[in-house]
Amino acid sequence: MTTYLCQCSQRRCRRFPRQNDGGLANRENKGSIFAMSQTAERERETFEQSVRGVPHRTLPILDLASLVDGDTASIRNLADNLRQILSEIGFLCVVNHGVPPSVITGLIERSAEFFALPEATKTALAINRHERGYTPMNVEVIQDSDIGGASRNDRNEAFNFGMEYPADDPNVISGKRMYGANVWPESVPGYDAAAREYMAHMERLSKRLLPVWEVALGLEPHHFDASFESAHSYVRTIRYPGKAVLDVEELGIRPHVDTSFMTLLPRENEPGLQVMDADGEWFWPDCPEGGIVVNFGLYIERLSNEVVRATPHRVIPPVTGTRYSLPFFMCPRLEAVVECLPTCCGPDNPPRYQPESFWNLHTDRMSKIYPHFAAKEGEG
């Protein structure tokens, strides 16, 4: 017998047939999915506006046209300008720096050729425990709890190379981390030559700035010379593909600080770099055409007892096109001691950090915020 439900009482009767509530549940489920979809889209739009809608600011400029190597007056004049910048955002732009545009474009062109290779060819040069080689797209993830942000893989691919140590160096012979040889993409003729030329020009520029830093920080001339003999500087060539619509927490590189003394970055073909100021606000840094952006890292922050700020920064994927980036990380020799400068501490301002080698500072930091480097610690 068919069962009916009377709507005028809760007794079973034959007046009204029982409704199949599956249709109602289905409608409710669709409504819930739609609401969730709307919420997700609002979250995505809010995130995208929060990263792409930040304001622009013009970076302070250090004009090196007047810098004459060994000339005290020109060095002191630039040091006065640098000292003022140090108390500001921790980023600046150098112009009239002497690095030929052809050196920069030459490495960009070779890098574009490399990143266009088949994935199997690139991964044959996979990044190693010496931080040299290739990192595929969406593999790297920065986990920097000091700055915050969710852990999501970065939307970029990169290729690292750096200081070349002689084969008879004891650390090379022992296989100590960071002392390995570069791995070059033989499928791209001229890549190694372009890379070495770029490294040479950027290292020359960065060392020209050392006397300016010495005066700005009240140090004796040549204070930094010993620390930057056999300097462990390196380059990351990075490709950021365009993404018109960003997912929540999708970034080219997550917020981080560098371990370097300084990082030098030629102005890129597509915007992407963003800087966090001392108040925790993000902005797009504006640098003149042909300028080189300079930011300060953990090495100088610790040397200066935090007089100089290691400035957090991140990269937003371009809306269209592809962004190529060539950051040069100016670092001291790996065994240099990171110890508070005598002009940056005193009885009322003791050192904030214990002395340690740059090797320890760098490898500890990289293993902490880049899990793929921590995973390689035990490799031979």
Q: What confidence score (pLDDT) does residue 300 get?
A: 97
Determine the distance from the C-alpha atom of residue 78 to the mean position of all C-alpha atoms in its chain, rounded to a whole number: 27
pLDDT of residue 46: 87
pLDDT of residue 151: 61
Structure tokens at 293: 């952006």
Q: Which of 81, 51, 49, 55 is nearest to 66 (CA)?
A: 81
Contact at 8 Å (CB) between 111 and 324?
yes
- pLDDT score recorded for residue 380: 46
Q: What is the domain class of 56-374 according to CATH?
A: mainly beta
Nearest-angstrom CA–CA distance, 94 and 81 = 12
User: What is the domain partition of the chain in residue ranges?
Assistant: 56-374
- Residue 313's nearest CA partner among 35, 62, 80, 51 is 51
Question: Secondary structure of the chain: what % helix, strand, coil (to 5)?
Answer: 35, 20, 45
- pLDDT, position 185: 97
pTM of the model: 0.87
CA distance 262 to 229: 16
Alpha-carbon gap, residue 260 to 366, rounded angstroms? 12
Residues 6+ apart with CB under 8 A from 379: 128, 129
Mean pLDDT, consecutive 10-residue stretches, the chain (380 aa), reads 42 44 59 66 85 94 89 93 85 96 97 98 95 87 59 86 96 95 97 98 97 97 96 97 90 92 92 92 95 96 95 93 96 97 95 96 86 57
pLDDT at 22: 57
Residue from 264, 231, 228, 222 nearest 70 by CA: 222
